[in-house]
Structure 1
Amino acid sequence: MSWLDIGPVDQIPLRGARVVKTRVGCVALFRTAVDEVFATSDRCPHKGGPLSEGIVHGRAVTCPLHNWVFSLETGQAQGADEGSIDTYAVRVEGGKILLDTSRFEAVAAA
């Protein structure tokens, strides 16, 4: 794994998000109310809504356009909705968010 320092975790508000531009598109970093951090693609597969502008609740995010709900852990749509979003490995170490970039590098090499 290749880890990229994104910055301090406290730059993302609780139940908020931040967007990072990568080779595979925008990645949304979410911080839950209990201080967990998750990384997913920023686009809803339904209508392309910016998930980083959605509502974070528990370990899920609701798309701001059409209320589809996605698990931040698995990327799977919840409830009656079908589809999924990409998820990426992320960890917090010493108060800093580290994003695994190995999937981005594999896309660039292809």
Structure 2
Amino acid sequence: MDQMITWTPVGRVEDIPVQGARVVRTALGDLAVFRTVTDEIFALEDRCPHKGGPLSQGIVHGGRVTCPLHNWVIDLATGEAVAPDHGCAGHIPVRVRDGVVEIAFRHA
């Protein structure tokens, strides 16, 4: 069965602090939308795969975020923990159109 994607606007790029994040609350849980120093935008589930720490409160550096609880480093593009750690924060597709950040929701 094919899945449909709905692109949902969640704010403007400038609403997200540079090297920071903004939390988007959904029925399926909180998402963290990140902005890098080069204005790249990424979205992950706002939950570290290690102990569930809020990634939105972590430190963004390059294309990664460091969890504020136990310093796990998560790749923003994939949601994968950086070695030697293992695990994945759910990655959410994101795009920017005319300065508006949109996240993808999949449904049947």
Same fold (TM over 0.5): yes
Determine which of 11, 14, 19 is the counterpart of 1:10.
14
Q: Is 1:50 aligned to 2:74, yes or no?
A: no
Q: 2: CA distance between counterparts of 1:5 and 1:41?
A: 17
Instruction: Give the structure-1-normalised TM-score.
Output: 0.90
- Residue type at the aligned position of 1:12: I
**What is the deviation of 1:39?**
0.4
Determine which of 28, 36, 46 is the counterpart of 1:32.
36
Q: 1: CA distance between counterparts of 2:84 and 2:11?
A: 36
Structure 1 or 2: more helix by fraction? 1
Q: Is 1:67 aligned to 2:71, yes or no?
A: yes
Q: 1: CA distance between counterparts of 2:14 and 2:82?
A: 28
Q: 2: CA distance between counterparts of 1:74 and 1:10?
A: 23
**Stretches of 4+ moved more than 3 A in 1?**
none
Structure 2: state its 5+ residue gaps. none
- Residue type at the aligned position of 2:34: F
**What is the deviation of 1:79?**
2.1
Aligned length: 104
Q: Percent identity among equivalent residues?
A: 54
**What is the deviation of 1:15?**
0.4
Structure 1 or 2: more strand by fraction? 2
Q: Deviations over 1:40-94 (max 9, x none)?
A: 0001121111000000011110000000001011111102111111001101110
Structure 1: state its 5+ residue gaps. none
